[in-house]
Amino acid sequence: MGPLPPDESMSVAEGGTGAAAERLSAIPPGCLHLQRACVDQERIVLTDPAYRADAWQQLPLPHLHPGYHFNFPLGPGSNYDIWARQQEQLPPLLFRPLSDREPTPDLQRPVFDTSTVPLVLVAEWAENYGHTLGNSAAWLHAHLHVAHANWAPRAALVVQTPLGLALPSHWQPLVGPLVPHRPVQTLADFSARRLDTPRGSGSRCFADMLVCSGDHELQSTNVWQASQALVALNSPLPKSPVESALAGCDGTCLRVLFLTRSPKPFMRQVLNLEELVAQCNAWRHTDASSGQTFTADCSIFQPGADLKTNMAAVRSADAIVGLHGAGMANAFFAKAGAAMMEVFMAGWTWQVHRIWLQQDPGAQLQWWALTVNDTAAYSPGELEETLLPHPSLYKGGQGTEKRERDRNVHVPWPGVARLLQEYAGVQAAGGMPAYQARREAQQEPVHYVAQAGGGLEPGGTSTMFGGTFTP
């Protein structure tokens, strides 16, 4: 096909399948809106002859390379990043013009599907459950559903994965309900050549296509609102798998849920978890301002692969306590007014969940934190203990910090009790509005540091890693 003047280009009406194309509304900022585009072998094929080298006024090919990160999947571990000397970046998304030597009938004479709008997404840390929720699902919810995009019912989510690898198993249950038109696919699968497909059948060409990068790791457009939308889309939920630990609970009884991680491998585990739960069940506190008495009914839950079960478990709790990690992202599914109580090791106090909540104007989840700054409370994680001095383990940038992140820890009960006491005080003062007023005033901490020797000091929330508390 030789160069055509612009007024002779194929129109959607001439070569379309499905209903007539409707002008897309509410296109997300930063997305490339392509018209009459195809996909082939992980590339975007542009049929507009203006992109060809023989065009009278050649247009430059689009470029999308946000520099987003991924961890190459390698065996069991806390995070695959323990083997990386440097953070790996997704390669650029590649574009090419339609050629005179196309390999398949659907590209030789394109038929442009108007019933589907592919949204090709370049996702940050796509292998991480928490980042998939915070950086991708939340972004999709904001720009498809909150924005009432007229193309949302036709959207097909297509994810660029590194080197054509498969999508992690959490993508379909965690993101799929937001884009139900088609199952979530990788770009590699969506763009694969099908040599036996006749022209017009199973087209890989579309009247409209969006190529987007979601939020980067420290951005989350509306994580709590998106999580609550996912709860609604998954309803009705099953009965909570968490059983009451007590026969009765007097006063104002707080349901406290301790999240635990898989013990394989044995890393980032709370070593005194059973002891903490016993002390939690014996906890009793009378709020000085209101005279209200609080007690607790405390249990343990290990999130699994079934999203509905995870949702039901956390929604039965008032406070969700656990070590920082992707599993703590399940707390975003909690009911309004509940608390995420995140525990950090001093070497890795990455407060990304707090930052995400601060970016969501509709968030109704309280964030509290405890950092354990006591090396005597740590013990090596399984890989550190069994594989060091492996030449590639915990090397390169942040290698030391990642090793500390992956250690096991004895969490001091006084620190957890302080978080429960502060949460109880906020609840007695009115709940979420009282918490928001506390955060806005910045006179009282929501983060505490348990020091060696038993001291408990205010911790900061002024930087990604906490900073110093300065009222």
In this predicted structure, the answer to whether residue 94 has a pLDDT above a threshold of 50 is yes
Predicted TM-score (pTM) of this structure: 0.92
Q: Residue 208: helix, strand or coil by DSSP?
A: strand
Q: Residue 12 pLDDT > 80, yes or no?
A: no
**pLDDT value at position 194?**
80
Which tens digits make up the pLDDT trace of 400-442? Answer: 898 999 999 999 999 999 999 999 999 999 999 999 999 999 8
pLDDT higher than threshold 70 for residue 3: no
CA distances from 121 to 215, 293, 361 (A): 10, 50, 24
Instruction: Calculate mean pLDDT across residues 79-84.
Output: 78
- Amino acid sitting at position 152: A
3-state secondary structure at position 42: coil
- The conformation of residue 15, written as its DSSP 8-state character, comes to S
DSSP 349-384: ---HHHHHHHT-TT---EEEEEEEE-GGGEE--HHH
DSSP string, 216-236: -TT--SSHHHHHHHHHHHHPS
pLDDT band (50, 70, 90) for residue 1: very low
Between CA 418 and CA 446 the distance in angstroms is: 10
What's the pLDDT tens digit per position in 209-241? 999 998 999 898 899 999 999 999 999 999 999
pLDDT the model gives residue 171: 96
pLDDT 10s digits, 355-365 = 999 999 999 99
Residue 291 contacts by C-beta under 8 Å, 6 or more apart in sequence? none
The values of phi and psi at residue 253, to 5°, are: -90, 120
Is 160 in contact with 120 (CB distance < 8 Å)?
Answer: yes
pLDDT at 196: 65
pLDDT digits (tens, 9 = 90+) for 327-379: 999 999 999 999 999 999 998 999 999 999 999 999 999 999 999 999 999 99
Residues 6+ apart with CB under 8 A from 383: 77, 78, 82, 265, 267, 393, 406
**pLDDT for res 72:** 83
Asked if residues 116 and 206 have their Cβ atoms less than 8 Å apart, the reply is yes
Q: What is the pLDDT of residue 22?
A: 74
Asked if pLDDT for residue 458 goes beyond 90, the answer is: yes
Distances (CA, A) of 251 to 256, 285, 294, 336, 424: 15, 10, 5, 21, 12
Calculated CA dihedral for residues 188, 191, 197, 202, nearest 10 degrees? 120
Angle in degrees, CA 350, 354, 359, rounded to 5: 125
Distance CA(86)–CA(398), nearest Å, equals 9
Average pLDDT over residues 103-126: 94
Report the pLDDT value the prediction gives residue 5, as an integer from 0 to 100: 32
Give the pLDDT confidence of 148-201 residue by residue, as tens digits: 999 999 999 999 998 899 999 999 999 999 999 999 999 999 999 987 655 545
